[in-house]
Structure 1
Amino acid sequence: MPPLPARRNWRVGRRVRHFDSRANPVRAAGDGAAARNDQVDSRVVGKKAQGLYEALLTEALALELRELPPELVAELRKLRPDEAADRLALHVARALRRSIDGVSHTARVKTGVALVRALLERIGTELGVEGDDTGDPTDAAIRNSTGEPTADLTADLTLDAQADAEPGAATGAVAEVDYASSIPARRRAEFAGDLAADRPVVEANVLTALLARGPDGRPRELAAPLIPLLDTTLLTNAPDEPRVGQQIAAELDSADRIDVVMAFVRRSGLRPLLPALRRATSSGRRVRVLTTTYTGSTELAALEELVGLGAEVRVSYDTSSTRLHAKSWLFHRESGMSTAYIGSSNLTHSAMVTGLEWNVRVSGARNPDVVEKLAAVFEGYWQGGDFRAFERSEFEACRAAADAAAGNSQGGAHSAHALQLSPIELRLEPFQERLLEEIELERERGHHRNLLVAATGTGKTVMAAVDYARLRAAASRTDASNAHPRADASTAIPRGEADNGLQRPDASHATSRAAPSTALHRARLLFVAHRRELLEQSRATFRHALRDASFGELWVGGEHPTEFEHVFASIQSLNHAQLEHLPPTHFDVVIVDEFHHAAAKSYERLLAHVRPRELLGLTATPERADGLSILEHFD
């Protein structure tokens, strides 16, 4: 072992206050995954990044610390008995994974099993526990010529890994395999060096920080999180543990970058974090925040305060079913000790302090895949077009629109509180565009009864709204001379129909399938769903797609339409109505949400009566549990 580095810039025995997450059974979640990425080895320290660490002091790390520049101070502490089992096992797991990953792919399974067996046998020997080694043909693969178990990477092991690869090899035969030959030649020297470097120093010290010196030469302290950096744990705001707000505040000072995804941001939740956030931005550390206007909970004053501190804020104005509802914090640390919080707590006082909230604190060293995915998804949101840089005027306009929509949901199309539209237009994802292109192609082929099947949450209502808007836009570009009056003597026309510019088949076609036509200048619409909430959400989506704040009337509960031009109706209200008074061809476009219900009698009555020019069904599950078919309604 090399001599320990000179201690001119070491500090040993630093007191660190920690919340003991070992009492929580979730703390060790993902221990196996932690072995996948050695984030605290000498390569990280070799970059001499300032910050917090929880790195077992190995021989290689000790050499790195010996070469520290004078402006950095390494803080060490003794490995505690209560953490020894977890920390040492995690260290061995990382070394074992690197060893198995380094051998050739074909020999990896047998080699890995042999190494694990050798390791366990050695543990038994050291503890004075003899294992049962009778009759196992692989025993020769894990013992050397003296009969002692070995994990030496340069030893010759006898494995039967080649038996499957060599034709004619006897089943169960043990072939002599040079274990070292399974390691690529260019990696053997590295392997030997890695294993030696990974040996913990005898003193069992832990590197806790690399600190910069202040003008007076003293190290500038960094507040450590209440939860050890290596621990993944569940926080519930229980009486015997720190509140999630305290945990978040304790992470801020040691983070090199801070990314936040938060559905709701309010001043009450932000206020306790302001001093730490101000220290972060004033020292040049980047703070990025993604939030939403959903339900109007995010406060303008809170976002302005964040921007005033120097944080970058982007806002999603999407109020559809695909809106963002996530809550997470990501604390990037150049030391490799990044951490994240993912859970239910919005940035409000109740959620951060008093609420019954569940949040998982994830260690990037123990669960690297989770933290890496979180970082990648955040970056995708940040770079995508759904979030826009915060501007007061835009935020106020969208909040006003949301407030008006809430007031308008209980009124008809002529509510005194007309919807003020968001400046954000609906945009389709590529897969949504492809689906609408397929529907348009079917219409060009003469098929005007189509079923749109897409998984839950993929925006079927958005696609239907955009499709309807395109039908109307295409009709508005046609020559007005192609439009003909729809009224005729034999058909009862509701008020306002005769002069709306729509084409109407004559009486002889009143009960037949509607002729194909795209001349839908105003396109009377019937949108059918089975709940008020769905109808209100769908009407709001159509209003935004059409850029028409007064579009659509509700026909649900005790609410009735007055114009019957664009109706969002519940199937229950339609069934209670006297459909014989509604001309079958009155509605040009009929859209039925959750069309898999259509085989039910309530839907059958409606579908047997109406004769729209365009019928569009929306469903995620075209097969009904009772086996009844809905396909008869489509071309």
Structure 2
Amino acid sequence: MSDLRPGIYEHLVTREIGTLLRAVPDNELIDRRSLDIADSHETLARHLAALTRRALRAVRGESDTVRLARQVEIVNRVTNLISDLVPEATGPEELVEAAEELLGLAEGHDMAGRVRFPARPTIPLTGSALLVNGRGQPEIGHELKRELASADRVDLICAFVKWNGVRVLEEAIEEFLTRGGQLRVVTTTYIGATDRLALDRLATMGADIRVSYDTRMTRLHAKAWLFHRATGLSTAYVGSSNLSKSALSHGLEWNVRLAQAEQPHLIDTFAATFEDYWGDPSFEPYDPAQDAERLDRALSSERSGNRVIAIDFAYVDIHPYTYQREILDELAAERQIHDRWRNLVVMATGTGKTMVAAMDYRQLRSTGRANSLLFVAHREEIGTSPWLVDTLILDLA
């Protein structure tokens, strides 16, 4: 690094950068901080990885064989040094001289005495990539089939599930489920875009499905797959592709492929968030034998634009989201601890002020603190101005 330009950084201060910083005329122009011990290992590991990558790329040799042998020697020497410094954190991690990669391990031979390994994704399991269905690039549908071939469990969250999309992946999904794989699907009736026939087919094959019928509160737009592998090489796809034929093939879709080996924190976040949705009562189990008629009504009402009629009040049970629960708890604390009964709640448009008011009133009514609720809105259509920061005044004095 020859100079430091004005801007924001997240660079570790090396000796070279330290020298450049000493040349800055005013120390107030420099913003720096000490490493946080909570994640210092990640920051330092990135620095070491970048340095190692640059060093290995710079290795020269008389031939590719000689160059590779030199790279392996360097890695093994660094590995041994780390093992000497922190023996409790490493095992026998030296590379074999042949520098091989393990690509698979079969359970045994088939009936014909042959060994078959699953098809591999075009993108290495340890790498991330952007798929745009571009010319000369792998289609998202093609890659999903190959991911299914080697996955142990699959989680799919998808706003719209179309019959023609299920047809594209039907054979791969059926083979996955037949060999003991588990498929969980979270979807919605939003704008009536999902096809019941698609959900029925997935359920028939053995998928577990949960559907959100309340499209006013649960505006699910996510489209993402998580392919769990017991080998520790899970992968995920997050992007714009719904489960439809055009989205999986020729549509102008952007999807990012994530690898656990490269970005484990993102895979962990995906898995944890999916579990939250799966356990949320607003996503209800779908069984074609029992729920087909209800799903048809909901989809039909969404397609006609009559979303109020689509609500089945027999199934409505309001539960606060985590951030709404925090607000309700703070309101309760202000009243019970500080005896403050005139409170102001500020929430962005679309985050559920009406629901917070309803749940707060429900709690107050159950304890005999309130018998009526006056709700005043500033306009006939609520929530149509995203630039507004709305307020909710709770005056029980």
Q: State whether TM-score is above 0.5.
A: yes
Other-structure match for 1:183: 86
- Secondary structure of the corresponding residue to residue 313 of structure 1: strand
Other-structure match for 1:400: 297
Structure 1 residue 453 corresponds to structure 2 residue 346: yes
Q: Distance in 1 between matches of 2:121 and 2:112?
A: 26
Q: Distance in 2 between matches of 1:122 and 1:394?
A: 59
Q: Distance in 2 between matches of 1:112 and 1:356?
A: 34
**Match for residue 312 of structure 1 among 183, 208, 211:** 208
Other-structure match for 2:312: 421
Q: Distance in 1 between matches of 2:389 and 2:55?
A: 61
What are structure 1's unaligned runs of at least 5 residues?
1-104, 129-149, 156-178, 411-416, 479-516, 536-569, 571-592, 597-615, 619-632
Structure 1 residue 432 corresponds to structure 2 residue 329: no
Q: Distance in 2 between matches of 1:394 and 1:107?
A: 50
**1:387-408: CA deviation from partner (whole Å, max 9, x where unpaired):** 2211344464365256547757
Residues 373 and 407 (structure 1), Cα distance of their counterparts in 2 relative to 1, 3 Å cut: closer
Q: CA deviation at 1:309?
A: 0.3
Q: Distance in 2 between matches of 1:220 and 1:336?
A: 21
Contact 1:439 1:450 in 2 (8 A): yes
**1:131-174: CA deviation from partner (whole Å, max 9, x where unpaired):** xxxxxxxxxxxxxxxxxxx957778xxxxxxxxxxxxxxxxxxx
Q: Distance in 1 between matches of 2:393 and 2:320?
A: 19
Q: Distance in 2 between matches of 1:110 and 1:278?
A: 45
**Match for residue 356 of structure 1 among 234, 244, 252:** 252
Other-structure match for 2:197: 301
The 5-angstrom pairing of residues 14-413 of structure 1 reads: 151=77, 182-183=85-86, 193-194=92-93, 198-202=94-98, 204-211=99-106, 212-392=108-288, 393-394=290-291, 396-397=293-294, 400-401=297-298, 403-404=300-301
Q: Distance in 1 between matches of 2:52 and 2:335?
A: 69
Q: Give the AA of the match of 2:312.
A: L
- Secondary structure of the corresponding residue to residue 239 of structure 1: coil
Residues 106 and 432 (structure 1), Cα distance of their counterparts in 2 relative to 1, 3 Å cut: closer
Q: Distance in 2 between matches of 1:106 and 1:319?
A: 42
Residues 247 and 432 (structure 1), Cα distance of their counterparts in 2 relative to 1, 3 Å cut: same
- Secondary structure of the corresponding residue to residue 527 of structure 1: coil
Q: Distance in 2 between matches of 1:222 and 1:617?
A: 60
Q: Distance in 2 between matches of 1:240 and 1:314?
A: 36
Q: CA deviation at 1:214?
A: 0.8
Residues 220 and 395 (structure 1), Cα distance of their counterparts in 2 relative to 1, 3 Å cut: same
What's the Cα RMSD here?
4.5
Residues 181 and 397 (structure 1), Cα distance of their counterparts in 2 relative to 1, 3 Å cut: closer
Q: CA deviation at 1:457?
A: 5.6
**1:239-258: CA deviation from partner (whole Å, max 9, x where unpaired):** 32232112212221222222
Residues 121 and 327 (structure 1), Cα distance of their counterparts in 2 relative to 1, 3 Å cut: closer
Contact 1:337 1:365 in 2 (8 A): yes
Other-structure match for 2:14: none
Q: Distance in 2 between matches of 1:405 and 1:114?
A: 54
Q: Give the AA of the match of 2:378.
A: V
Q: Give the AA of the match of 2:105.
A: L
Q: Distance in 2 between matches of 1:312 and 1:398?
A: 16
Q: CA deviation at 1:634?
A: 11
Q: Distance in 1 between matches of 2:45 and 2:362?
A: 63
**1:217-265: CA deviation from partner (whole Å, max 9, x where unpaired):** 2112422223232331111111322321122122212222222111111
Q: Distance in 2 between matches of 1:261 and 1:107?
A: 32
Contact 2:192 2:302 in 1 (8 A): no
Residues 398 and 443 (structure 1), Cα distance of their counterparts in 2 relative to 1, 3 Å cut: farther
For this pair of structures, how many residues does the alignment match? 340
Q: Distance in 2 between matches of 1:408 and 1:118?
A: 58
Q: Distance in 2 between matches of 1:442 and 1:118?
A: 55
* TM-score, scaled to structure 2: 0.68
Residues 233 and 300 (structure 1), Cα distance of their counterparts in 2 relative to 1, 3 Å cut: same
Q: CA deviation at 1:216?
A: 2.2
Residues 394 and 529 (structure 1), Cα distance of their counterparts in 2 relative to 1, 3 Å cut: farther
Contact 1:115 1:151 in 2 (8 A): no
Q: CA deviation at 1:271?
A: 0.5
Aligned-residue identity in percent: 34
Q: Distance in 2 between matches of 1:383 and 1:365?
A: 27
Other-structure match for 1:145: none
Q: Distance in 1 between matches of 2:230 and 2:283?
A: 27
What are structure 2's unaligned runs of at least 5 residues?
1-38, 63-75
Other-structure match for 2:358: 465
Q: Distance in 2 between matches of 1:114 and 1:420?
A: 56
Q: Distance in 1 between matches of 2:348 and 2:234?
A: 35
**1:449-470: CA deviation from partner (whole Å, max 9, x where unpaired):** 5421245664223212334566
Q: Distance in 2 between matches of 1:383 and 1:450?
A: 32
The 5-angstrom pairing of residues 445-594 of structure 1 reads: 450-454=343-347, 458-467=351-360, 518-520=370-372, 525-529=375-379, 532=381, 534=383, 594=389
Q: CA deviation at 1:302?
A: 1.0
Q: Give the AA of the match of 1:208.
A: L
**1:485-527: CA deviation from partner (whole Å, max 9, x where unpaired):** xxxxxxxxxxxxxxxxxxxxxxxxxxxxxxxx9443xx66542
Residues 113 and 182 (structure 1), Cα distance of their counterparts in 2 relative to 1, 3 Å cut: farther
Q: Distance in 1 between matches of 2:185 and 2:41?
A: 47
